[in-house]
Amino acid sequence: MKKIISLWILLFAVLFTANAQNTLKFNRNGKFKIVQFTDTHFIANDPRSEPAIENICETLDAEKPNLVIFTGDIVYGRPADTSLLTVLAPVVERNLPFAFVFGNHDDEFDLTRSQLFDLAKNLPGNLTATTPGITGITNFILPIASHSSEKTCFVMYFFDSNAYSTIEGVKGYDYIHFDQIEWYRNQSSIRTANNNGEPIPAVAFFHIPLPEYNAAAADEQTVFTGTRKEKACAPRLNSGLFTAIKETKDIMAIFVGHDHDNDYAAYRDGIMLAYGRYSGGNTVYNNLKPNGARIIELRENEKKLRTWIRLRGGNIVHDIEFPNFFLKEKE
């Protein structure tokens, strides 16, 4: 661990320059691979966190993704700057583009969300952005271009799912706010209009699951794959993002973290609701062992994808094709 941190400090000193935005493109085979890490819950200089770095390095070397995404709760202790930079170091060292959204724990230590964002914003390969004027920090969009042109043929929406409810009498987790949903609706509408009225296939990433995850689990008709060992710790209030997604007709799958004992994917009203695999060490509860990551392989010009879980150690589980896996014969 000390060697990793020392190497990172050297890289940080040499490479901390303004980062040019990378152009994300499908490869010649029309595929684009994403590795989703979630809930690393990293504490700098704590041996319990070492499995997180081992998992990140092993997964990146095996999968060689086009993009790495961290879906929140990256940091779980002081100093938060060292914790964040240590987690991101293996990605930077491999010259891979990456993006992240915040979870509910990242800013509970010695840096705010804005300070953490500023710390990482100029790192080589970082594509994380912010949208001023709406709730949260990590609300942004990443388009993916065709392999043969600069035309956008896929879109990734990132939302800051915030942290805890601030409404009197409503306990628990916060929700994605109305201004964030309106921002998404506007952006989606513009992209659809610019694409001759046809919604561009899309996916979404954030930390805290929507209430629809529990609705899916409660429905005996829901098709599942993966492991569900706990109830989705969703907000008590439903702010309507899922409805907006159905109305705009572009997002086909949602990927979250937050609940360490879940790595399932469920099918709800034509949308895949999926968890990543807990990616951290032993600094917090985790009954899905070993840790791992979710891999997502997008398809150019298709509203389809393949996804699987890679476990630390190399085993592959829950390998499915969306939407085919979820469809019944009558559909």
**pLDDT, tens only, 244-266:** 999 999 999 999 999 999 999 99
**Can you tell me whether residue 272 is helix, strand or coil?**
strand
Q: Report yes or no on 15 lying in a domain.
A: no
Provide the phi-psi class of 21: left if phi over 0, else alpha when psi is between -120 and 50, else beta. beta
Pairing of β 316-322 and β 305-311: antiparallel
4 lies in some domain? no
Assess if residue 230 is contained within a domain.
yes
pTM listed for this prediction: 0.94
**How far apart are the C-alpha atoms of 19 and 17, rounded to whole Å?**
6
Q: Do residues 302 and 315 make contact, with C-beta atoms less than 8 angstroms apart?
A: no
Stretch 21-48: mean pLDDT: 94
Residue 321 lies in a domain: no
Identify whether the C-beta of residue 258 lies closer than 8 Å to the C-beta of residue 104: yes
Give residue 3's pLDDT. 44
- Rounded CA-CA distance 281/291 in Å is 7
The two tokens of residue 214 are 């529990």
Q: Is the pLDDT at 58 greater than 60, yes or no?
A: yes
- Give the model's pLDDT for residue 16: 40
Print the domain residue range for 301. Answer: 25-315
In this prediction, residue 301 carries a pLDDT of 85
CATH number where 37 lies:
3.60.21.10
Is the predicted pLDDT of residue 10 greater than 70, yes or no? no
Q: Comparing C-alpha atoms, which of 23, 76, 20, 24 is closest to residue 46?
A: 76
For the purposes of burial, counting CB atoms within 10 Å of the CB of 2, is it exposed (0-12), middle (13-18) or buried (19 or more)?
Answer: exposed
> What integer is the mean pLDDT of 192-202?
97
Residue 289 lies in a domain: yes
pLDDT band at 22 (very low <50, low <70, confident <90, very high): low
Residues 6+ apart with CB under 8 A from 98: 67, 68, 69, 70, 88, 91, 92, 125, 126, 127, 128
**Average pLDDT in the chain:** 93
Model pLDDT, residue 23 = 85
DSSP label at residue 288: S
Q: How many CB atoms lie within 10 A of CB 171?
A: 8
- Residue 149 covered by a domain: yes
Which residue is it, tokens 């392989």? 297
Cβ–Cβ under 8 Å, residues 22 and 125: yes
Quote the percentage of the chain above a pLDDT of 90.
92
Neighbours of 39 (CB within 10 A): 29
Rounded-to-integer distance, Cα 155 and Cα 1, Å: 36
pLDDT in the model for residue 330: 55
Q: Is residue 42 part of a domain?
A: yes
The answer as to whether 191 is a domain residue is: yes
Q: Which residues contact 53 (CB under 8 A, 6 or more apart)?
A: 1, 4, 86, 87, 90
**In this model, does residue 21 exceed pLDDT 90?**
no
Question: What is the count of structural domains for the chain?
Answer: 1
